[in-house]
Amino acid sequence: MGFLRKCLAILFCFVVAILIAAACSASLLNIPHVGAIRLGVGKLNSSTKPNKQEIPAFFASRYARYLHPQIWACQSANFVGRRGYYSQGGEDEALHKWIFNDTKENQNPGIFVEIGAADGITFSNTLFFERMFDWRGVLIEAQPDNAKKLMKVNRKNTVKLPIGICSPPQTYISMLGGPGFVAGNIDTMDEAFRKSWHKNNNKTQQVTCGPIGYYLSTIGITHIDLFSLDIEGGEFSVLLTMDWNIQIHYLLVENNSKTPNVTNLLKSHGFRVHDFNSCIMKRLECAPSTLYVNDNYQRPEFSSICLSNIYSNRN
């Protein structure tokens, strides 16, 4: 009988200990944690609270910026620009001379995004602005061989992403084409382009993908001065995944059969077609592009959003 009482007492203590632990866990669940922050939206989700606690998007973006000092570190007073154009058809030279002609060294660096960045150097539409004016940005390339080169290249002002772009619940795209400048998502590739460059080729590589708006938000991007988009017919699909709370000033998109869809979409978000000839430099390799502009764009002073207490490896 005494043995039975001891067993019951031990069991009772064990049950009480479990209940206490459960109560403590429930209490802890009410404490906000970093993983609950959804960057770019600024809401703290907690199923245990009836009212969601709001976190301003400004602070959510600022948290993300500490993870990417190569973009968000304040500009060095010793920065010296290096002149040189790199675009295939002279797009960067035309943009510099007719769009960003008032840009100066050591003055308010811009933010760029380049999708279809290839190896990050050859035919880049953004490299000139990085090297000449200390602009910073995001480079995205989905073709695996190009992406490997991109990840190794010296673009120290950039976040480099070896990924594709797609809408959920899709998580992979099928890239058609090898290294170089004619690869693309087989499901969105312009039909005429495919017949010209991949007529007898159906070999693809699977690449992880996600929405562009999500990627940019998690880097802390809230505004973009120049968005370059050249992915052989997939431009419209990419723009469908954009977070339009992120301001864009100029958007350069290569022309193809889906250009009317792109134009209609961008007009619905306040853009207009800019009178701009990207082939005006008369390069033989130039593929015509359309430049869209958002006249309501409000460019912040970079000094007001950069992080002065972090340091990059810039000279």
CATH of the domain at 233: 3.40.50
pLDDT in tens, 95-127: 999 999 888 877 899 999 999 999 999 999 999
> Does some domain include residue 221?
yes
d(CA 305, CA 221): 11
> Does some domain include residue 190?
yes
> Does some domain include residue 86?
no
Q: Which residue in 78, 272, 88, 262 sits closest to 182, CA to CA? A: 88
pLDDT of 7: 52
d(CA 306, CA 118): 28
The greatest distance separating any two alpha carbons of the chain, rounded to the nearest whole angstrom, comes to 101
Residues paired with 206 in a beta bridge: 174
d(CA 291, CA 274): 5
Instruction: Note down the domain range covering 238.
Output: 92-313
Q: Which helix (H) or strand (E) holds 191?
A: helix 191-197
For the chain, how many residues are written? 315
Position of tokens 């350069």?
A: 252
pLDDT of 24: 41
Per-residue tokens: 190: 């312009």
Instruction: Write down the pTM of the prediction.
Output: 0.79
> Does some domain include residue 223?
yes
Task: Kindly state the percentage of the chain with pLDDT values over 70.
Answer: 76
Angle at 224 between CA 221 and CA 225, to 5 degrees: 150
If one counts the domains in the chain, the total is 1
> Does some domain include residue 42?
no
pLDDT in tens, 257-269: 899 999 999 999 9
Q: Which residue in 150, 105, 152 sits closest to 130, CA to CA? A: 105
